[in-house]
C-alpha cells in the first residue's frame, strides 16, 4: 500500500474519531496510529506505540507542574491580588491598564503553554475590567482569545516548539528572546487595534462587585513569594549557573508551588494538585496521542514522504502552505498541527535559523485555537464575557489572525537575519530601540484613528 494511502487512512480515521465517534482528541490520535500501523503492514507494534506515547514525557511533566503552580497561586489569592493591584493603580490610565490586562491574560499561557488555561483563569478575571473600560463584550472576548494564544506562544513554556524540537532532536534552549519577538509585539498591536478607540477611565465603584479581591493587606508581601521563587530559580539557572543548579522546569514549578502553601489563603496542596492534573489531562492526553501518531508516521515512512513533499514545493507555495495548512489543521489540535506539519516544515527550511523558524511556526500553529469547530480560545472567551454565539467573537479575530500569520511568515523568512541581529550587543540595543519605536508608532496611529472616527462607543 502506498504511503499516501496510509496517511489518508490515518487522517480519515482521526477525523472520524473526533467528529463521528466523538472521541477525545488524544484517543482519536491513538486510534489513527493503530489504523496507520495496520495499513502500513506493521501489525500492532506495541513497542512503538508505547515509545511514542512517552516521546513527549518532558513536555507532559512541565504542563502538569505548571498547572499545579497556576492552581496554587489562584487558590492562595495571589492571582486575584495581582489583578486588583494593577486595576487600582492604573484605573485612571486606560491605555496602560489595557496593555497590563493583555499581559495578565497572557501570563497563564506563558506558564502552562495552554491558551485554554489563560482564558479560564486570568481571562475571566480581566473580562469585567475590559468591559468597564468601555470595550464591547464581543471585542473584549476577542482580546482575551488573542491574548491567550500569544501567551501560549510566549516564553518560558511553548508546547508547539517543544513538539517540533522533539521531532528534529532540537533541545528547548535559547528560545526566550525569539518567542518574545514572536508574541509580544503582536500582543501590543492587537490589543491597541481592537480596544484603544473605546477605552476610558474605569469607575471602580461601578465594578466593585465584579473585581477581584486583594489579599495583600491580610498576608503581606509574603503572598508574592511563589512568583519570586519561580523567577529567581529560572533566571538564576541561566545567569549564575555556578550558584543555581539546573533543576529543570518541572521541579522549579513544583518548588515555587510548595512555597504558595504557606504564603496566602489556606489550601490543601494534594487536593489542588489533583485538580490541576485533572484539568491538564486533556492536553497531556493529546501529547501522548501526538507522540504515537508521529512514531507510527516515522515507522511507516509517511513522515519522510511529507518532508519530501514539503521540500519539493516552490518557495511561494511552501510559505502559503505554512500560513494556511497549520491553522486549519490546528482546528483539531494546535499541538497536532505542530507535530504533523511543523516538523516537516522545519526540515524543509533547514537553511534558516531553526530556533526562529520553529518560533514562527508555533505562532502560526497557535491560530488553530481560533478555527471552528473546536475554536477553544474563541468558545471559552465568549463564555467568560457571557456571549452564547462564539462566531460573534471570531469575526473580530479575523484581522488579528491574518496579521499574526503574516508576521509569523516574516519571522520565518528573515529567521537567520533576525537571530544575527539579536546575537550582538549593538543589534540587541537596535532591536530594543526599534521595538519601543514600534510601540510608539502604534499608539500614534491609534490616536489618529480615534480623531478620524470622531466618536467613542461606550458599553457599560
Tell me what pLDDT residue 238 has: 72
Structure confidence by residue, pLDDT tens digits, 124-135: 889 988 988 889
Spatial distance between the Cα atoms of 262 and 78, rounded to a whole number of angstroms: 12
Mean pLDDT of the region 372-382: 83
Nearest 5 degrees, angle CA 382-CA 384-CA 388?
Answer: 40
| Bond prior to 199 in cis (omega within 30° of 0) | no
Where are the chain's structural domains?
A: 1-44, 45-453
Residue 455: which residues within 8 A CB-CB, separation 6 or more?
none
pTM: 0.81
Q: What does pLDDT average to over the chain? A: 84
Most confident listed range (54-68, 239-253, 298-312): 54-68
Who has greater pLDDT, 16 or 438?
A: 16
115 DSSP 8-state letter: H
| Predicted confidence (pLDDT) at residue 449 exceeds the cutoff of 50 | no
Give percent above pLDDT 90 in the chain: 36
Instruction: Kindly tell me if the per-residue pLDDT of 432 is higher than 60.
Output: no
- Separation CA 413–CA 359 (nearest Å): 12
- pLDDT tens for each residue of 203-217: 777 777 778 888 999
Q: Is the pLDDT of residue 196 over 70?
A: yes
229-280 per-position pLDDT tens digit: 988 888 777 777 777 777 888 899 999 999 999 999 999 999 999 999 998 8
> Which triple of cell numbers denotes residue 400?
488579528
Non-local CB neighbours of 154 within 8 Å, separated by 6+ positions: 106, 109, 110, 179, 180, 182, 183, 184, 187
- Residues 322-373 pLDDT 10s: 999 899 877 767 887 887 788 888 988 887 889 999 999 999 999 999 988 6
Residue 384 CB contacts under 8 Å (≥ 6 apart), including other chains: 119, 120, 123, 124, 127, 141, 144
Amino acid at each position: 500500500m502506498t504511503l499516501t494511502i496510509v496517511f489518508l487512512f490515518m487522517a480519515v480515521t482521526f477525523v472520524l474519531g473526533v467528529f463521528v465517534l466523538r472521541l477525545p482528541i488524544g484517543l482519536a490520535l491513538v486510534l489513527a496510529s493503530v489504523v496507520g500501523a495496520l495499513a502500513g503492514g506493521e501489525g500492532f507494534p506495541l513497542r512503538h506505540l508505547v515509545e511514542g506515547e512517552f516521546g513527549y514525557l518532558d513536555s507532559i511533566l512541565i504542563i502538569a507542574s505548571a498547572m499545579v503552580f497556576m492552581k496554587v497561586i489562584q487558590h492562595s489569592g495571589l492571582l486575584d491580588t495581582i489583578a486588583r493591584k494593577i486595576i487600582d493603580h492604573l484605573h485612571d490610565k486606560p491605555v496602560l491598564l489595557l496593555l497590563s490586562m493583555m499581559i495578565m491574560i497572557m501570563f497563564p499561557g506563558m506558564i502552562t503553554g495552554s491558551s485554554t488555561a489563560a482564558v479560564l483563569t486570568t481571562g475571566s478575571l480581566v473580562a469585567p475590567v475590559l468591559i468597564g473600560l468601555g470595550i464591547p463584550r464581543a471585542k473584549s472576548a476577542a482580546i482575551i482569545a488573542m491574548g491567550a494564544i500569544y501567551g501560549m506562544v510566549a516564553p518560558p513554556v511553548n508546547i508547539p516548539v517543544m513538539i517540533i524540537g522533539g521531532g528534529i532532536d532540537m533541545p528547548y534552549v535559547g528560545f526566550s528572546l525569539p518567542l518574545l519577538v514572536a508574541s509580544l509585539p503582536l500582543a501590543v498591536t492587537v490589543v491597541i487595534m481592537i480596544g484603544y478607540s473605546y477605552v476610558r477611565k474605569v469607575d471602580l465603584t461601578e465594578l466593585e462587585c465584579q473585581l477581584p479581591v486583594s489579599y495583600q493587606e491580610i498576608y503581606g508581601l509574603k503572598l508574592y513569594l511563589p512568583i519570586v521563587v519561580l523567577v529567581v530559580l529560572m533566571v538564576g539557572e541561566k545567569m549564575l549557573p555556578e550558584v543555581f543548579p539546573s533543576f529543570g522546569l518541572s521541579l522549579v514549578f513544583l518548588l515555587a508551588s510548595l512555597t504558595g502553601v504557606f504564603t496566602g489563603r489556606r489550601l490543601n496542596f494534594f487536593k489542588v494538585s489533583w485538580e490541576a492534573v485533572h484539568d491538564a489531562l486533556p492536553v497531556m492526553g493529546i501529547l501522548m496521542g501526538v507522540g504515537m501518531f508521529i512514531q507510527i508516521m516515522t515507522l511507516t515512512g509517511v513522515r519522510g514522504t511529507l518532508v519530501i513533499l514539503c521540500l519539493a514545493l516552490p518557495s511561494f507555495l511552501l510559505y502559503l502552505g505554512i500560513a494556511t495548512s497549520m491553522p486549519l489543521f490546528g482546528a483539531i489540535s494546535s499541538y497536532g498541527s505542530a507535530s504533523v506539519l511543523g516538523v516537516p516544515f522545519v526540515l524543509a527550511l533547514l537553511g534558516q535559523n531553526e530556533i526562529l523558524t520553529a518560533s514562527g511556526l508555533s505562532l502560526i500553529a497557535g491560530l488553530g485555537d481560533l478555527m471552528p469547530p473546536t475554536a477553544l480560545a474563541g468558545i471559552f472567551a465568549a463564555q467568560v464575557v457571557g456571549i452564547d454565539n462564539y462566531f460573534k467573537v471570531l469575526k473580530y479575530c479575523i484581522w488579528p489572525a491574518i496579521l499574526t500569520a503574516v508576521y509569523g511568515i516574516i519571522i520565518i523568512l528573515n529567521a537567520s537575519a533576525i537571530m544575527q541581529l539579536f546575537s550582538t550587543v549593538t543589534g540587541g540595543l537596535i532591536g530594543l530601540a526599534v521595538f519601543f519605536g514600534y510601540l510608539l508608532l502604534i499608539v500614534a496611529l491609534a490616536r489618529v484613528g480615534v480623531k478620524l472616527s470622531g466618536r467613542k462607543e461606550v458599553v457599560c
